[in-house]
Amino acid sequence: MITSASFESDKKYVEDFFEAIKEYIIFNNLKVYEGLIQFLNTSTLYGLEILKEDIHASNSVVKLMTLHACKGLEFKYVFIIGVNYGLLPLLKSSDEMAEEKRLFFVGITRVKDNLELSYYTNPEQRRVLGEPSQYVYMVPEELVQAEETYAQKTDFKDIARQVKAIMEEKNSAEEAVEEVQKEEKRVEHDKYGKGVVVSEDEELITVEFERYGEKIFTKMFVSLKVL
């Protein structure tokens, strides 16, 4: 039975719903249609409390969302799980890999205070390495606080060999080009000395040093002298 009381209550729910949509669109500076689609997609995961800054202060909950859905948002704490090669990034073409890298960058820049990246040590998925993705090295070393067990047990040279083997299997032509570039381009680092460029793109550069092995740098934060 419909009564005036239930009508007023339902009216309030509808008004609150549209007000939440309006706040979301304004907060993210979106066009109406684009904002409506994003709001409906994201609210399916974490309800209508997405814009409340103090949600974590009074409730033992987290906001669960995809990397695509978090664009334009900001949080005090961000946890990104499954940062394994084969998951982030997925094994895709070169053009799609660039999009995967941009997606990871969106995720790590959503944080205000604390960012935690984790990976599966024993992934069940085929062709997913049980080691951290190379994207982890996009974060400057001085900002990273790794767990002690991770630092002791991880063999970075072994990770590099596994990644290289997968990439060779996927696209041997690209690896051949990288080998040519490796022989042609030599650089010098203030700490690690002289080395040979293994690969590079718009954001990352991998250099192999005689005494230190392969090191991955973010171009924005590293100074390398071309020899």
Alpha carbons 127 and 23: distance in angstroms, whole number: 42
pLDDT in tens, 174-222: 656 556 555 568 899 988 899 888 888 888 889 999 888 889 888 888 8
What domains appear along the chain, each with residue ranges and CATH number?
171-227 (2.30.30)
Most confident of 7-11, 89-93, 108-112, 165-169: 108-112
pLDDT in tens, 113-163: 888 998 888 787 778 888 888 888 878 877 777 765 444 455 555 666 777
pLDDT band of 56, cuts 50, 70, 90: very low
Contact at 8 Å (CB) between 84 and 120?
Answer: yes
Structure token digits, residue 130: 């049980």
pLDDT in tens, 1-50: 445 555 677 778 788 888 888 888 888 788 888 888 878 776 665 555 55
Question: Dihedral sign, CA of 175, 179, 185, 188?
Answer: positive
Question: Dihedral sign, CA of 8, 11, 15, 20?
Answer: positive
